[in-house]
Each structure stands twice: as structure tokens, then as C-alpha cells.
Chain A
Amino acid sequence: MEINDILMAGNKSKGQRPYYLDDPAVERVLNITMALATELAVLRERLDTVERLLDSKGVLAQTEIETFVPDSAAAEARQLAHARYVARILRIVQQELEAVAQPENNKPMTEIAADINEM
């Protein structure tokens, strides 16, 4: 048998899955979020391995990382990266805000379709 490890790893076990939160949609998001949390923890552990290896090989000392002070260009680039990152994660919140702030741009698509049909 051909082993599709990507698909088979996530196989469902027998029996109907119970949902615990009042809204199953929220539980779905919780499960996706916890998987992402796992991957972030994994990435941090990997980075820690890299730092310790670099330290042990004398490339840099881990204390250099802890006491690192970026120069002004680096500082700005990093803050910009944080800002972009936050905006990406919270896109849906921003868009829900825009929906309320700009009702004229928030018509249902069926309404827009009907409008366009008259254009």
C-alpha cells in the first residue's frame, strides 16, 4: 500500500467527534490555532538549537543575542515587520471595523449584483 503520510497522519478515528464549545465554528478555530501554537513552539525550539550550536562553535555567544541593540535602520525595519505581522493576523478585525465605518461599501453582493444588472 502506498503510504500518503500527509493525509493519513490526520485521519479521523472511528466514532462521531464530540464538540464542547457552544459554537462548533469556534472550536474549529481553536483547533487550528493550537496547531499553529505548536508550530511556533517548534520553531522557537529550532532557533534555540541554532543559537546553542553557534555558541558552542564559537560563532557567537548567546548573551550577544540577549543584549543585542539594533541600530536605527535595523530598529525601524524590525518594528515595521512587527506592524505588518500584526496587521496580517488581525485582518478580519480591521475589515469588520471598516464594514461598520463605511456602510456604503458594505452592501450584500446580491444587492450589488442587482445594482450592476441595472447598469
Chain B
Amino acid sequence: MDYNLPPVWTQLQQHEVFPTFDHDERARYNFLSNLNRFIATTVAPATKVAYDRRVESEFVATHGRSFQNRLELQEAMQHEPLYQTWAALRRCTMEMRQQNGRAATLRQAHELAAKVENLNRDNDKLILTPNFVQPPYLEHVDNHLMPGSYRTAYFDKDVSNAANYDSGLFVTSGGLLGSLTDGGGKAIAHWVKEMYPDFKPKRILDLGAGLGHNTLPLAQAFPDAEVYAIDASEPFLRYGAARAKALGIENVWFVQMNAENMAAFTERSFDWVQSTMFLHETGGHAIHRITKEINRVLAKGGLTLHIEQPPYTADMSFYEQFMRDWDAYNNAEPFWGFLHDLDPRDLMQEAGVAAENFIQVYVRAINDLDTAQTDATMQEDYGRTPRWHVFGGWKR
């Protein structure tokens, strides 16, 4: 019998700046990843059954027609007990994941800061900007219910929120992103090398790279390239630069910069501009400033790719749109829904990719953990399944 169990937390690679978890802290994460697996594979499908058997037919009986948009469906679902149970549990497990990760990382916040500072002392790969102004959309929300989000340092050189983030993606994904939580970056690097074996980028830019989870696989795939990981978060950049050093990766620069204004980079200076799960954490106007900047810094003949969840197209059922939209309002990703209503072709046009050079594919996380969930046992968990929509293209 294949019980489809998530890997245990100790299978994560304990790099030099990784927070140290004691026995019970590890056990909490192990329990939570199992709880998430159960919610994804057993409770979420019950929500769909309830929709099929009860919610839709009751709506039709009352209104004499079916749903005309996802908001109508959302309103009807609020009253469905199986949906309520699923949503209440999912919210609960996310809050518990934050609390448990924070409890473990905050108690060692000063040790972590010292370890990171030690690795960063002579590290010319970390470039911070004094008096950096956070983009308002990052001030306005605690992304995915992470108190303080990316922007907060609780004291000078504090990295505890980054360490918490690094330690806990394992829980949310049930270990599906691999031992360094880099399954997305590995997937895109692998896909690019397979599809375009002659593509040899010299300069790669990763936008909103955070602590560089998905940047390092690009640097490893193209060891001769200079890779720039830009982000607004000082704590995440500090932690990321130290983490890269601890992992022996030397061709990534961690730069504090707002992707809406990359004046420090000259025109057409990058062969590849990448973003991974970044655009949905920007804003309605900012995203157009970002695409414009991509166009400015991307070289002619260069490639730009963006990993996101799929857009809500006309052929996606309202139920799927509703489930995918859940994270926007319930997991503090408020721009998520707006982004997925945009046509990626239009965005890429702004980024310098003509319609005939537009690319749209799906990639699945590459996971080095042997106990990881296999394709056959993968249950669709909407915004959580490690299979992503990639869009972008070539600037000819």
C-alpha cells in the first residue's frame, strides 16, 4: 500500500545558516505537513463533491440557471458545510505553520543574525541600498499570513523572518519542493536547457528573488553566468547571500532593488530575465512598470520567463477559478486574483515579447527527495500543487 506520505523535515538540507530545530519543533512541522497532505487529498476533494452534488443544483433550483461568474459561486459556497470545514482547517494550518516556525526562529534570532553576518562580512555578493523605500504593496500586506512579511527586521541585521520562510515552505508544500525548496528553479532551469540547448546566457536577472531558493538552480545550471537576484527585502537578501555562500555558489549577487525601477542596470544588459512566484505579490500599476523595465534591461535575442499559477481563462471552470482564487483573500495574496485575470500575452508584449515569440507551458517541480509524492498520487490542490504555469518569450 502506498500511503503517499510526505518526507520528514530532517530530510531538508541543513545548510550552515538554516535554523536549528529541536525534537518537538521538528515534530510539529512533521505533523503539520501530514495535516496539510490530509486536507489536500481528503478534505479538498470533499468540497468538490459537495459542489457537484449540492451547491450547484441548489443554486440552479433557486435561480433557474447556473453560475455566471466565480463570485456568485463563491457566495453560494460560503454556506456549504464541507467547504467551511476545508477553509477553516486550511486557514488554521497556515496560521499554525507560521506560529510554530516563528517560535523556533525567533528564539534563536540573534544566533541566526550572527551566523549570517559572519558569512556576509567579506561577501561582495550582498549589495544593500541604504534608506531603501519598500514598495507600498509590500508594506500593505503580510504575504501568505507571514507576520511582518518580507520587509520586517526586528533588530539590526535580523533575518528571522527569512529563516522562518526557509524552514517552513516544506510544511505548506508537504516536502514537494525538494531538500532545498528549490523545485521551481530546478524545473525552469531544466526546461530551458532541454528546449534551448544553444542558449548560453551570460547575465541572468531574477526578479523578486527573496532568499534565492529558485535563483540558485539557475546559477548552478549556468555556472559561467553572472546571476543577479534582486529583491526589496533586506532580511531575505542578507539570509540569501549567506545561504548561497554556505552552499558554495559564487555566481549570484543579491541586490536590494525595486523591480519597478532598475536604473542601476543598463539597457539590454541581461540575456535572461526570470521571475518565480513573484508577479502575484506586486500591484496593479506596479506590474506594468515592471514589464516596462524588463523590456528595457532585456537584450535583443534575450529570454524572459515568469512562473505563476495559471490565468483564469474562459475555459477554466468557475469552480476551479474560485478554488484558485481562495489564496487571494484567505492566504493574504490580494493581487493574486487580479493578476490571473490579466492576459499574460499582453504583459509580455509590454516586456518586449511579440505575440509570435510568446511562450506558455507548464512545468512540474523537480524534487530530489525520494519519498516525494509521485505524479500518480498527486492530488490537485489548486494554488499549492507544485506544477506551474510559465509564460514569457523571446525578445527578437
Interface residues of A (CB under 8 A from B): 1, 3, 5-6, 8-15, 17-22, 27, 30-31, 34-35, 37-38, 41-42, 45-46, 49
Among B143-151, B196-204, B283-291, the one that faces the other chain is: B143-151
B30: interface (CB < 8 Å): yes
Among B84-92, B123-131, B363-371, the one that faces the other chain is: B84-92
B254 to chain A, nearest CB (A): 24
Contact-residue bracket for chain B? 35 or more
B332: interface (CB < 8 Å): yes
Interface residues of B (CB under 8 A from A): 23-24, 27-28, 30-32, 35, 78, 83-85, 87-89, 91-93, 95-96, 98-100, 102-103, 106-107, 109-110, 140-142, 145-149, 154-155, 160, 329-330, 332
Q: Are A46 and B88 in contact (CB under 8 A)?
A: no
Q: Are B330 and A18 in contact (CB under 8 A)?
A: yes
Q: Are A20 and B88 in contact (CB under 8 A)?
A: yes
Q: Are B141 and A14 in contact (CB under 8 A)?
A: yes
B181 to chain A, nearest CB (A): 21
- Inter-chain CA distance A46–B6, complex, in Å, is 19
Given contacts A30-B92, A34-B96, A35-B96, contact A14 B142 (CB under 8 A): yes
Q: Are B96 and A38 in contact (CB under 8 A)?
A: yes
B338 to chain A, nearest CB (A): 16
Among A15, A17, A38, chain B packs the most CB atoms within 10 A around the CB of A38
B162 to chain A, nearest CB (A): 15
Q: Are A20 and B154 in contact (CB under 8 A)?
A: no
With both beta carbons as reference points, the residue of chain B lying nearest to A19 in the complex is identified as B88
- Inter-chain CA distance A14–B139, complex, in Å, is 10
Cβ-defined partner of A42 (8 Å) among B31, B35, B103, B142: B31
Cβ-defined partner of A8 (8 Å) among B31, B89, B91, B102: B102
Q: Are A46 and B145 in contact (CB under 8 A)?
A: no
Q: Are A22 and B148 in contact (CB under 8 A)?
A: no
Q: List 14 A-B contacts (CB under 8 A).
A: A3-B109, A3-B110, A8-B106, A9-B100, A11-B102, A15-B142, A15-B332, A20-B78, A20-B83, A20-B87, A30-B89, A31-B92, A34-B93, A49-B23
